[in-house]
Amino acid sequence: MRIALPILLLGLLVSSTGWTQPPMAPQITPHMSRQAPTIVGYAYHERTGALFFTEAYRNRFDQQGRLLSSAVEYRPAQGNTPLASKALDYAKHPYAPEFTFANHAADYQEALYWQGPDQVLVRCKEAGEEWRERRLRIPEPVVADAGFDAFLKDNMDTLRAGQPLQFNFINPARLDWFRFRAEPLEQSPHTITLRVYPENTLLRWLVDPILLTYELGTNPDARPQLMHYSGQTNMQLSGDQPVVANIFYEYPQQPAQPIVNLF
């Protein structure tokens, strides 16, 4: 899931250079994988409660259950023209995937590419402007975009034990990375709610925390599932601020089907 931590409010100044040619897409050899049924998120406006947009996730996993790639499409509550689209590739990092994101409604684009074991290239383009880019060296644990969800799931035992998690979140929109913390807020035998916020004291004054609720399930081997997201999203219309929303996720019941991944 696209987790959009609200760093967009900060307006930080960073250096940038022009972009001439995008990096080559990573080469993926044919292998067996399985495609999970589509997961749909319904985003409701925080104040009015009206349905603002939906987001549909198509994920591919390998035979060991590791996430390989995702394709996400955002659509408005009314109409069929997509608001935005995103493609993610987890080949180089399980929690900080390479990705491209295009917000068609706001004419905005951003991307992340790994340049080495500890260096990424981040780039973004506002409507009517040139591409900006920056190379970053980031210490682990590194998290970006929807890889945030996998990071929390893989560390759920720590969170359930009442311990916080610290991580470094990459934000291509600001061509930078920031230190964040996730901590358990409340939990029951079958659910846990987490609060996510920046560790920097000044940023905490500027950025509202994000709340995430996961269903834990009754089977000890079952993976947690994100059920509810509350906070700022990465979606906006032309000239508007990013939408603050409550997003509820719906998971289909049918099992994933094996496929041959040829790309």
Using pLDDT thresholds of 50, 70 and 90, give the confidence band for residue 242.
Answer: confident
User: Does the pLDDT of residue 89 top 70, yes or no?
Assistant: yes
Q: Whose CA is closest to 14, among 145, 135, 180, 144?
A: 135
Tens of pLDDT along 4-58? 444 333 322 222 333 333 333 333 344 455 566 689 999 998 888 999 999 999 9
Using pLDDT thresholds of 50, 70 and 90, give the confidence band for residue 117.
Answer: confident
User: Does the pLDDT of residue 221 top 80, yes or no?
Assistant: no
What is the residue-averaged pLDDT of the chain?
Answer: 82
User: Does the pLDDT of residue 3 top 80, yes or no?
Assistant: no
Confirm if 86 and 2 have CB atoms less than 8 A apart.
yes
Radius of gyration of the chain (CA): 18
Average pLDDT value for residue range 65-72: 92
Q: Whose CA is closest to 53, among 37, 73, 75?
A: 75
How many CB atoms neighbour CB 196 within 10 A?
23
Question: How far, rounded to the nearest angstrom, does the alpha carbon of residue 68 sit from its chain's CA centroid?
Answer: 15
Global pTM reads: 0.80
